[in-house]
Amino acid sequence: MSKEPIRVLIVEDEPIISRDIAQRLKSKGHEVVGFARSRTDALEQAHELRPNVVIMDIHLLDGHSGVEAAKQIREELDLPVIFLTANSDNDTLSKAKIAEPYGFVVKPFTDQALHTAIEIAMSKYDGEQQIRSELDRLYDLVEESANADHFFVKAKGKLVRLRFSEIGFVEALKDYVGIHVAGQRYVVHATLQDMEDRLPAKHFMRVHRSYIVRLDKIHAVEEGEITMERTERKVPIGGSFLGKVRERLDPL
């Protein structure tokens, strides 16, 4: 059985260099799924295209650092990023480390150096995913046996415990969900239905096709919107859910 090609997003502000990298990658059997020149474009394409790996120039066209873009991609999508840089000095490398890259390729580079960096990055990433999967199964067993009041999510390379009582609301984000806890948002790979099945129904309610709220975190309901406690964030109420929301809140 043939091996699936590695899907690569190239983030580089020089079109000539981007095309050169694409040709090099294709010659090694990889698939280039997109090109980006700025931080904003890189984030949008990473969310939309879901590449296996991102090749990121440290210095981008819009003045933003590739380090900032890589850090956000890692936090939101948990994708491996390989940095391209013309500078391999200690200062540049130290600043880049905060994004936890899976490798560095120094310009000018050979086809083999680029290919090797991708293979090593994917091997490291796959190993991490396997470990996390095993940890998830372990925590699931612990939760089931202890009738837990929480669950764990992966955030910035570690497992974070979120208590049900601390969650304000959950929103759908395409193939992901955002879990809002005390002003922070944790983005995890799941569907809103997965979350609805996992959260205790006596405390949580789906109020829109894209939102679940914790009932005792609701501050006010008016004109088809919910204002959450201790925040100005508004959560919409879907038309088909409005009657059920009123029933659950049981106003005097």
Full pLDDT tens readout for the chain, 252 residues: 447 899 999 999 889 999 999 999 999 999 999 999 888 899 999 999 999 999 999 887 665 678 888 888 988 888 999 998 877 667 767 777 777 888 888 888 889 999 999 999 999 988 888 877 776 766 665 555 445 688 888 877 788 888 999 999 999 998 889 999 988 899 988 889 989 988 888 999 999 999 999 999 998 888 789 998 877 788 999 988 888 888 888 765
In the chain, CATH 2.40.50.1020 covers: 149-249
CA 21, CA 59: separation in Å to the nearest integer? Answer: 16
Task: Give ranges for CATH 3.40.50.2300 in the chain.
Answer: 7-128
Residue 195: CA atoms inside 13 Å, Cβ hemisphere, count? Answer: 33
The whole-model pTM stands at: 0.55
Q: What does CATH list as the number for 7-128?
A: 3.40.50.2300
Q: Which helix (H) or strand (E) holds 107?
A: none
pLDDT value of position 145? 43
Q: Are 208 and 237 in contact (CB under 8 A)?
A: yes
Instruction: Put residue 182 in one of left, alpha, beta given phi > 0 → left and psi -120 to 50 → alpha.
Output: left
Please report the DSSP string for 28-54 in residue order.
TT-EEEEEE-SHHHHHHHHHHH--SEE
Q: Quick one: tokens of 115?
A: 């290919």
**According to the CATH classification, is domain 149-249 in 1.20.140.10?**
no
